[in-house]
Chains A and B, each alone.
Chain A
Amino acid sequence: MGSPSRRGSQHLRTTAIAYVFLLPLLLVFAAFVAAPLCYTFWISLFREAIVGGVRFVGAANYLRALGDASFWGGWVNVARYALAYIPILTVLALLIALLLDSGTIWRSSLFQAGLSLTYTVPTVIAAVIWSYLYGPRFGLLGQVARGAGFPAPDLYAPPVLPFSIANISIWQLTGYVMLLFYGALKAVPPELEEAAALDGARGWQYALHVKLPLIRSSIVLSLMFSTIGCLQLFAEPYLLRSNAPERIKNDFTPNMYSFWQAFGAHDYSYSAAISFVLGTLVLMIVAAFLALANRFGAASK
């Protein structure tokens, strides 16, 4: 009779101690994640106008978002950007990582350092650099094209634009993702290569059929982060906007549209509602992606 209650109080104490250790994290989470989220949700239920001030409108902002062509148009741009960005980034980073890992590269650490240097360039600077290169008449790419006898490409033209923006992100992040893959490849036991060679596998067969499956979890992780990055696309188009405000409008991506509603149209409540819809959709997409990845993982095993 006495023993279970003692165990119970002991259990209670362990739980309490656990919470004491968790407390700093929980406090930070509450202050910087939970509280702002609650506040955002709270203000999304109101409407603020220059004349008339603030009034409660319930779900009106959410209903408006569901029927807002500007908001959903941004998703199309994000999808086109993602189709350019994710495959190129992932394949390129994988190829370089495999190449560096194969041991055939002279001084591979130099290449690692060199290739990941672009990651240290802030996005603001990267966008400025590329806006110089993209100029049709005085930009490098335009001049090279004309030098070769072609007309200068219009890199802000709507069909090309998602690629022009993706190019900046790819330039910046390939080295970083490559390091992620390279680190995972380094953890592959070297004796597997011997075994594969004994079984008659060529280098590329070993890479494709042995190494890649072993770093699957790193690839999935990278794909997930890339997907989230795409859905939250903001900095690159926002910074390029000054070069072509008529092409990269304020509703170019859902995130830009939310920013514009708050700070351009001064509608903080609608901006909050958009953020909530966006956040919910990102969560759902990531959950679907992970479920899919897990099922594929189970099937391949």
Chain B
Amino acid sequence: MTKGLDRGFSRRGFLKAGTASLAAGMAGPGLIAATGRVVAQEPITLTFWTWIGHADEAVQLYEAAHPGIKVKLENVGGPPDYYIKLQNLIRAGSGLPDVGTMEYAYMPRFAPSGALINLSDYGADEVVSGYVPWAVKFLQYEGKQLGLPWDAPPLALIYRQDLVEQYGLELPTTWDALREQGRKLKAQTPDVHIINAEMGSGAWVTAHLVQGGWKPFALDGTNITIRINDDVARRFSDYWQSMIDEGLITTMASFTPEWYAGHDKGAYAFWSVGAWGANMFQFFVNESAGKWRVTPIPQWDPAHPLNASLGGAGYSAFTQSAHPKEAAELAIWMSSNIDVATMYNQHAGHFPVVKAVSSAPGFADVQLPQFGGQKTNPIYTEAVSQIDPNFQWSPFQDFVFVKIGEEVGAAANGERKLSEAFALLQDQIASYASDQGFTVTT
């Protein structure tokens, strides 16, 4: 009897091994076509991780169009915890979702891991020709399209119409003009600041440096040039240092209870943020509902207008997936579907990367209730065109963001001058890069 059992097991084991090697040996288009019928009979469930609001609506649209596929939407937390989870699951070799959100700044960290599916193998190249080019580029690595973009969030100033009118402020077109308005405001009231500069947020500081033409990293294989403390950083430091010294601004971290209350209760006239700012309204706008408007980001040099992407994300499919083809197709669909992009724009102001959406008739006339019916899309359309497609993130951008937030934030709090923070950052980040095996040029 024991013998029989043994034989049974080993035979089953042999059969299993045989099927596996057969599948591995023949995993070409022919097999996919042959097994397509079988796959269609059993509903596939794909897991999709994102923290972005309205994703449930996008999933409903997807499921309606794909009867054989169920999507399990999970919010496992936002950055940085989300990326810690991804990093751990890649190391563990299992547990990743089929598809997940991937921010532009984090792609260089995850691209070399081999955990991301090259979406070009599943038809990505056909859709990207109709995309905002810089967003496509941010998710490429060594000629592979390891993700497809979803939103293009350039900077703009979101402001309080009521406060601007009450204190007779003008909408600034240059950063100097913003400081002038800050002085005008301070002369009238101690209760309202012109703006809160989110110096403790590395992503915020980075975007505002990039908007001034900052190019801190140039990566060439394992050689990296790091120039953090350059003229752009010095201009940034001098400008915001004067704002701090004159008492025109506060510099607290964003999205804290204090930040939310301050922006709802009229403690700030302006808020500088990416196009996703409107999506944050759900978390704090109560008494200020309907009083917010949008105006373009002030420029350093109006003759050469620049913008930067604050955040910005796309979708990647993971090679761990049991259904790589379906996972890749889900990522591509979520990125390219016109109804989904339109939904995100009309519900939360997210600016689409799909040009078919942003050039469609009526797009410029979309009125967001968050902005009292203002037609904001034209502002962001122009802003998107001002982003430098050649900007390079570092391959350890999460580390860079945290260090910038700590050092620039501490300097803004009075520990030292902002300019000194950038000198420190240059040293810290260059030494981290060389610890990580890069050949560093400064």
Contacts of A136 on B, CB cut-off 8 Å? 258
Q: Does B80 sit within 8 A of A, measured CB to CB?
A: yes
Name the residue of chain A whose CB is nearest to the CB of B439.
Answer: A51
Q: Does B235 sit within 8 A of A, measured CB to CB?
A: no
On whether the beta carbons of A263 and B87 are closer than 8 Å, the reply is yes
Contact mask for chain A residues 231-257; partner B; CB cutoff 8 A; 1 contact, 0 none: 000000000001111110110000000
A138-B265 in contact given A246-B406, A264-B80 (Cβ < 8 Å): yes
On whether the beta carbons of A242 and B413 are closer than 8 Å, the reply is no
Tally B residues with Cβ within 8 Å of A: 37
On whether the beta carbons of B413 and A247 are closer than 8 Å, the reply is yes
Give 6 nearest A-B pairs by CB, closest first: A246-B409, A51-B437, A135-B258, A138-B261, A49-B437, A52-B437
Q: Does B363 sit within 8 A of A, measured CB to CB?
A: no
Q: Does B412 sit within 8 A of A, measured CB to CB?
A: yes
A246 is contacted by which of B396, B410, B435 (Cβ under 8 Å)? Answer: B410
A50-B437 in contact given A137-B258, A138-B257, A244-B200 (Cβ < 8 Å): yes
A245 is contacted by which of B88, B257, B405 (Cβ under 8 Å)? Answer: B405
> Which B33-71 residues have a C-beta within 8 angstroms of A?
none
A244 is contacted by which of B253, B255, B267, B408 (Cβ under 8 Å)? Answer: B253
Q: Does A265 sit within 8 A of B, measured CB to CB?
A: yes
Contacts of B387 on A, CB cut-off 8 Å? none
Q: Does A56 sit within 8 A of B, measured CB to CB?
A: no
Q: Does A216 sit within 8 A of B, measured CB to CB?
A: no
Contacts of B267 on A, CB cut-off 8 Å? 137
Contacts of B84 on A, CB cut-off 8 Å? 263
Contacts of A246 on B, CB cut-off 8 Å? 199-200, 253, 405-406, 408-410, 412-413, 415
Contacts of B369 on A, CB cut-off 8 Å? none
Tally of A-B Cβ pairs under 8 angstroms: 82
Q: How far is the CB of A218 from chain B (nearest CB, A)?
A: 38
> Which B102-131 residues have a C-beta within 8 angstroms of A?
112
Contact mask for chain A residues 31-63; partner B; CB cutoff 8 A; 1 contact, 0 none: 000000000000000000111100000000000
Q: Does A19 sit within 8 A of B, measured CB to CB?
A: no
A243 is contacted by which of B80, B87, B258 (Cβ under 8 Å)? Answer: B258
Using CB atoms and an 8 Å cutoff, list the residues of chain A in contact with chain B. 49-52, 128, 131-132, 135-139, 242-247, 249-250, 260, 263-266
Name the residue of chain A whose CB is nearest to the CB of B112.
Answer: A50
On whether the beta carbons of B399 and A50 are closer than 8 Å, the reply is no
**A to B CB contacts below 8 Å, 23 in the list:** A49-B437, A50-B395, A50-B438, A51-B436, A51-B438, A137-B262, A137-B267, A139-B257, A242-B255, A243-B258, A244-B200, A244-B253, A246-B199, A246-B253, A246-B408, A246-B412, A246-B415, A249-B406, A250-B402, A263-B88, A264-B80, A264-B402, A265-B399
On whether the beta carbons of A250 and B87 are closer than 8 Å, the reply is no
Name the residue of chain B whose CB is nearest to the CB of A244.
Answer: B253
Q: Does B222 sit within 8 A of A, measured CB to CB?
A: yes
On whether the beta carbons of A245 and B437 are closer than 8 Å, the reply is no
Q: Does B398 sit within 8 A of A, measured CB to CB?
A: yes
Contacts of B188 on A, CB cut-off 8 Å? none
Contacts of B436 on A, CB cut-off 8 Å? 49-51
Q: How far is the CB of B436 from chain A (nearest CB, A)?
A: 4
On whether the beta carbons of B261 and A135 are closer than 8 Å, the reply is yes
Q: How far is the CB of B244 from chain A (nearest CB, A)?
A: 13
> Which B219-277 residues have a C-beta within 8 angstroms of A?
222, 252-253, 255-258, 261-262, 265, 267
Given A245-B200, A263-B84, 6 more A-B residue pairs with CB atoms under 8 Å apart are A49-B436, A137-B267, A246-B200, A260-B402, A263-B80, A264-B399
Contacts of A243 on B, CB cut-off 8 Å? 253, 256-258
Contacts of B258 on A, CB cut-off 8 Å? 135-139, 243
Contacts of B262 on A, CB cut-off 8 Å? 137-138
Bound together, the chains give a CA A244 to CA B88 distance in angstroms of: 27
Q: How far is the CB of A39 from chain B (nearest CB, A)?
A: 13
Contacts of A244 on B, CB cut-off 8 Å? 200, 252-253
Contacts of B437 on A, CB cut-off 8 Å? 49-52
Q: Does B432 sit within 8 A of A, measured CB to CB?
A: yes
Contacts of B257 on A, CB cut-off 8 Å? 128, 131-132, 135, 138-139, 243
Contacts of B252 on A, CB cut-off 8 Å? 244
Bound together, the chains give a CA A244 to CA B265 distance in angstroms of: 21
Name the residue of chain A whose CB is nearest to the CB of B91.
Answer: A268
Bound together, the chains give a CA A242 to CA B254 distance in angstroms of: 8
